[in-house]
């Protein structure tokens, strides 16, 4: 379970995220979408405990991220769009290191399947410098999935992957959700969002403009019935024709 209440993040005078709230139950996939600068990455970084909110709370797996940080982060995998790797650790050493940090007991049994799933089986002994961009992204994903996280936060998870890698990544996210993981993913790829997400959170200038399953969002905006997700997104974020968007839901 991921629960966000009245989350606010200010950078100086700029309020990047302004009092947003949402819940993601086990098995749900929330799509966090919005135009450039809307506050998506700021939100994800607050969820991952990388930056501290100015106000509001984040619960991961029932643990308050501020007051029970270790328990909360133990449930989490955060996969950023830019893989953060250690220059002097091989692929296998990355996984062993992560296993120690998270207290994964059966690491020898897990490493093989995770590397196979992400097609890194023949790169066990390679350093990050010897990997392609997509392979680095796959290694970051492998590190995230190794400890079977109950909460999963992904920022543009398909960046750098080839078509086969994208397909497998979509299948991996869907399988994790089916197994009971609560997932938040942010992406500008609306086809990915449409395929995987059970509900949407549309953010603009740090504020919620729509939240819920797509069918509910459309119900609240009958003028959008039958339109593509791209049209709906552009209308809700005020980026469509005319640029005025549609009224905010009450
Ligand atoms: P994109 O789709 O372009 O990645 P985003 O929705 O992820 O955008 P954020 O990166 O969260 O947007 O940025 C939200 C706002 O906060 C922007 O106006 C941005 O300039 C500002 N911002 C982000 N990080 C910082 C920072 N470290 N210091 C000051 N302002 C920041």
CA of 120 to the centre of ligand 1 (A): 33
Q: What is the DSSP secondary-structure string of 195-239?
A: HH-SEEEEEETTEEEEEE-HHHHHHH-GGGTT--HHHHHHHHTT-
Distance CA(188)–CA(149), nearest Å, equals 24
- Ligand 1 site, residue 34, Cβ cutoff 6 A: yes
Nearest ligand 1 atom to the CA of 17 is 14
Distance CA(125)–CA(9), nearest Å, equals 41
pLDDT in tens, the chain (250 residues): 999 999 999 999 999 999 999 999 999 999 999 999 999 999 999 999 999 999 999 999 999 999 999 999 999 999 988 888 999 999 999 999 999 988 888 888 999 999 988 889 999 999 999 999 889 999 999 999 999 999 999 999 888 888 988 888 899 899 999 999 999 999 999 999 999 999 999 999 999 999 999 999 999 988 888 888 888 899 998 876 544 444 444 3
Q: Count CA atoms within 13 Å of residue 25 on its CB side.
A: 3
Counted residue by residue, the chain has a size of 250
The alpha carbon of residue 7 and the mean position of all alpha carbons in its chain are separated, in whole angstroms, by: 16
CA of 112 to the centre of ligand 1 (A): 37
> Could you tell me if 51 and 9 are in contact, meaning their C-beta atoms sit under 8 angstroms apart?
yes
Nearest ligand 1 atom to the CA of 203 is 6
């Amino acid at each position: 379970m991921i629960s966000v209440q009245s989350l606010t993040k200010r950078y100086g005078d700029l309020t990047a995220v302004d009092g947003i709230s949402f819940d993601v139950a086990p098995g749900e996939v929330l799509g966090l979408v919005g135009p450039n600068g809307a506050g998506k990455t700021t939100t994800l970084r607050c969820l991952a405990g990388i930056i501290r909110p100015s106000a509001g709370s984040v619960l991961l797996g029932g643990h308050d991220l501020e007051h029970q940080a270790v328990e909360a982060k133990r449930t989490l995998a955060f996969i950023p769009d830019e893989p953060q790797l250690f220059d002097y650790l091989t692929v296998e050493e990355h996984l062993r290191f992560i296993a120690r940090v998270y207290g994964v007991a059966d690491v020898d049994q897990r490493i093989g399947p995770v590397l196979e799933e992400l097609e890194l089986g023949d790169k066990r002994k390679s350093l990050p410098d010897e990997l392609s961009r997509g392979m680095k992204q796959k290694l970051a994903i492998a590190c995230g999935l190794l400890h079977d996280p109950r909460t999963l936060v992904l920022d543009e998870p398909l960046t750098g992957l080839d078509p086969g890698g994208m397909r497998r990544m979509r299948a991996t996210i869907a399988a994790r959700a089916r197994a009971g993981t609560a997932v938040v993913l942010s992406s500008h790829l609306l086809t990915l969002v449409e395929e995987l997400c059970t509900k949407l959170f549309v953010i603009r200038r740090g504020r919620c403009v729509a939240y819920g399953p797509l069918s509910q969002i459309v119900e609240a905006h009958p003028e959008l019935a039958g339109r593509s997700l791209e049209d709906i997104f552009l209308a809700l974020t005020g980026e469509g024709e005319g640029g005025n968007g549609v009224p905010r839901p009450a």
